[in-house]
Structure 1
Amino acid sequence: MTDEELASAYVLGTLDLNGREACRRRMTEDNGFAARVEAWERRLAPLADAGEAELPAGALERVEARIEKSGVELPGTMTVRAGAGDWIEAAPGLKIKIMNRIEAANRETFMAWLQPGAEYVDHDHDQDEEIYMIEGDLIIGEVVLKAGDFHVARAGRHHPVHRTKTGCICLISQAIGPV
């Protein structure tokens, strides 16, 4: 989800409780994101003046049932919906959300959310570690990763300290273990 989409979802009230809380925290730390939220509030303010419309009895339940029905999984697949799952504090300034684990292969995929200025310790790799950048910056030694970049640390290699100036969200696939 882009910052623009996240800001609009926050204002529209379509995020779950964890998502709303994450946005509230981010607004206090990221003036640019707070400005996006404020812009969406201004855009949508005329709708609030229109008053509330009465929904026909059972309309919400019918809509929820259709949404639930549309979420049917394909056989042999798994879908993690936006807003599903819990963010876990893995280190100061670093939260992760596990997306998939394959115990037999000792492998996991997770989203990582680093706050501006956060650092993560240097570490070694038992398996390849893959990082796909979604937003922000991630600095690994002298390598600067930005949104859309893909980085692989091969098994047996050492990764220097990871740090971010602006904060970042990335998708990481690696051996199961400490982040």
Structure 2
Amino acid sequence: MNRNLIPEIDVDLLEELDARLVPVQAGDELLLARAKATIMRTIAQDRAPLYRTVRASDREGWQKVCPGLERKVLWDSQGARSVMLRVAPGTTVPAHVHGMDEECVVLQGTIRIGELELHAGDYHVGRRGTSHELAATDTGAVVYLRGAMDEV
């Protein structure tokens, strides 16, 4: 285990918390169950993996968003989501306003956002509060996006 990931323990804080502990009385089963559930959730979060790998060969996890558009969630974190989009030839995505910065990398194909044409390897960012024009593709595309959870 990498000890750099383990925070130093504040002994004074532990002693202060210990002094404030109050024993649970008989009959407080609901309170005890809630406390246990909170502790177990915290333990589960602490055991969350430090790395995640998604392989291009993974066939699972794709969700149909609308005709011609599929999404695979790669990561959710702190109000942002990373996704991969598969866009079929001839598909259009309506204009929208960004709730936060949205990053886009075209991995395959070509996509147009208004008059802007993006090809494989191109990067584009839509800043928070800006609106994107209609996006479309004639060739189909695979796109990586990172932005607000409710938008991607």
Q: Compute the TM-score of the two structures, normalised by the length of structure 2.
A: 0.65
Query: CA shift at 1:178, angstroms?
Result: 3.9
More helix by share: 1
Contact 1:91 1:120 in 2 (8 A): no
Give percent identity, aligned residues only.
35
Give the AA of the match of 1:88: Q
Indicate which of 144, 148, 151 corresponds to 1:171: 144
What corresponds to 1:148 in structure 2? 121
**Equivalences for residues 62-101 of structure 1 within 5 A:** 76-84=50-58, 85-101=60-76
Secondary structure of 2:129 counterpart? coil
Distance between the aligned counterparts of 2:57 and 2:83, measured in 1?
A: 14
More strand by share: 2
What corresponds to 2:12 in structure 1? none
Larger radius of gyration: 2
**Equivalences for residues 129-148 of structure 1 within 5 A:** 129-148=102-121
Gap runs ≥5 in structure 1 = 1-74
Q: Compute the TM-score of the two structures, normalised by the length of structure 1.
A: 0.55
Indicate which of 142, 154, 162 corresponds to 2:135: 162
1:116 and 2:62 matched: no
Q: What CA deviation, in whole Å up to 9, does each residue of 1:96-153 have, x standing for no partner? A: 1111111xx2100010011000001110001100000111011001000000000000
Query: CA shift at 1:81, angstroms?
Result: 2.4
**Equivalences for residues 22-37 of structure 1 within 5 A:** none
Distance between the aligned counterparts of 1:90 and 1:114, measured in 2?
A: 10
Distance between the aligned counterparts of 1:116 and 1:90, measured in 2?
A: 15
Gap runs ≥5 in structure 2 = 1-48
Query: CA shift at 1:82, angstroms?
Result: 2.7
Moved over 6 A (4+): none
Contact 2:98 2:151 in 1 (8 A): no
